[in-house]
């Protein structure tokens, strides 16, 4: 994940906050953040849950699937807040990787 990709995802989240969204809209953002839908024996609860492939300790995000109907504003807000948490995790990961690169180069940036 690059900083440019994260900025695009942040814009997608901001745009989603300004409109009504369906399951498909929020699923698209979750997929960009490298979350996959649980299937088979791993399924929890009644609603589709998406788990992070990059951050295994991040809790699953349930995104209700009611066809083409819009999700309630409260559900949308909570899902988008959770997705923003993933953006913050990626930013922290990038920051640590950049610090490690600087330390490996003897304190000099490339």
Task: For 90-103, write each residue's pLDDT tens digit.
Answer: 999 999 998 988 78
Rg (CA), the chain: 16
Task: For 33-83, write each residue's pLDDT tens digit.
Answer: 999 999 887 787 788 999 999 999 999 999 999 889 999 999 999 999 999
Whether the pLDDT of residue 31 is over 70: the answer is yes
DSSP class per residue in 65-84: --TTSPPPHHHHHHHHHHHH
Whether the pLDDT of residue 110 is over 60: the answer is no
Whether the pLDDT of residue 16 is over 90: the answer is yes
């Amino acid at each position: 994940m690059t900083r440019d990709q994260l900025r695009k995802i942040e814009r997608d989240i901001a745009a989603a906050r300004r409109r009504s969204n369906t399951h498909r809209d929020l699923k698209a953002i979750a997929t960009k953040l490298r979350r996959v839908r649980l299937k088979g024996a791993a399924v929890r609860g009644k609603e589709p849950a998406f788990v992070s492939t990059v951050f295994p300790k991040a809790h699953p995000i349930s995104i209700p699937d009611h066809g083409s109907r819009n999700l309630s504003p409260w559900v949308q807000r909570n899902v988008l807040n959770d997705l923003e948490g993933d953006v913050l995790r990626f930013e922290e990961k990038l920051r640590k990787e950049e610090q490690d690169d600087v330390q490996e180069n003897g304190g000099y940036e490339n």
